[in-house]
Amino acid sequence: EVQVVESGGGLVQPGGSLRLSCAGSGFTFSNYWMSWVRQAPGKGLEWVSNLNQDGTEKNYVDSVKGRFTISRDNAKNSLTLQMNYLRPEDTAVYYCARDDYGYDVWGQGTLVTVSS
Amino acid sequence: DIVMTQSPDSLAVSVGERATINCKSSQSILYSSNNKNCLAWYQQKTGQPPKLLISWASTRKSGVPDRFSGSGSGTGFTLTISSLQPEDVAVYYCQQYCRAPDTFGQGTKLEIK
């Protein structure tokens, strides 16, 4: 079964850090761009970051540039989002998605709550 | 950034009737390599992740019922559900993936009348 599974969410204070992970299975992970998409409570979808197949091309939404870092380990079929200097407005469900001209595989998401 | 604007924000349609959702991009999303529009439609049911229904504006993904169809070109696109079923209640999003950053419409909430 083709799937991705996120982990690492939780409650963190403003200014804190969190590391999200995404494990892919059932497909050749190294063949695909991968993305993080978030959804604040009761709000719409927002693309956060993506990464090409070999990790050499990275993109970020302006609001997270300089704070978030995306990376991957193709040997372990894993994608990571390191989130530093977290703000209350980063509170959201974070989804990992396979990026194949449209996000065709999504995880169930992991909730990140930034609050004191 | 390319801005995606959906209309309406919410829609109530009777079972068996047609539902139409519109999406407008602030600039062309034509992909020169294949002359297709980089436009996807997603369905998100309550408590679930989004599901990709259509890519390249009109290509239905495997397993998606044929009552769902996508059309349009240039900057105007439409998702049509030809005969609404109760299980189609959801929020629908359009998204462009031609030019970074990928951007989504604000969503259209579809309900049963």
Q: Choose the mutation target among A43, A101, A106 for the interface with B, i.e. most B CBs under 10 Å.
A: A101
Contact B49 A101 (CB under 8 A): no
Q: Give the pLDDT of residue A99.
A: 95
| A102 touching chain B per CB within 8 A | yes
DSSP string, A72-102: EEGGGTEEEEEE-S--GGG-EEEEEEEESSS
Closest CA to A12 of A67, A91, A96: A91
Kindly identify which residue of chain A lies nearest to residue B41, measuring between CA atoms. A102
Instruction: Specify which residues A11 forms β-bridges with.
Output: A113
A61 contact residues in B (CB cutoff 8 A): 101
Show the CA angle centred on residue A33, arms to residues A38 and B68, nearest 5°: 65
Contact A103 B40 (CB under 8 A): yes
A46 contact residues in B (CB cutoff 8 A): 104
Q: Give the pLDDT of residue A41.
A: 97
User: Taking a C-beta distance cutoff of 8 angstroms, is the pair B101, B80 a contact?
Assistant: no
Q: Give the pLDDT of residue A60.
A: 95
Q: Give the pLDDT of residue B32.
A: 87
How far is B103 from B45, CA to CA, in rounded Å?
20
CA distance B28 to chain A (A): 16
The dihedrals phi and psi of A31, each to the nearest 5 degrees, come to: -90, -5
Q: Please, what are the averages of pLDDT over each run of 10 residues along chain B (113 residues)? A: 97 98 96 92 98 98 97 95 98 94 97 97
**DSSP-derived secondary structure letter, B102:** P
pLDDT tens per residue across span A17-46: 999 999 999 999 999 999 999 999 999 999
| B42 touching chain A per CB within 8 A | yes
| B50 touching chain A per CB within 8 A | yes
Kindly identify which residue of chain A lies nearest to residue B103, measuring between CA atoms. A47
Kindly identify which residue of chain A lies nearest to residue B106, measuring between CA atoms. A44
Kindly identify which residue of chain A lies nearest to residue B50, measuring between CA atoms. A106
A42 contact residues in B (CB cutoff 8 A): none
Q: How many Cβ atoms are within 10 Å of A81's Cβ, its own excluded?
A: 25
Q: Give the pLDDT of residue B100.
A: 86
Q: Give the pLDDT of residue B98.
A: 86
Contact A102 B101 (CB under 8 A): no
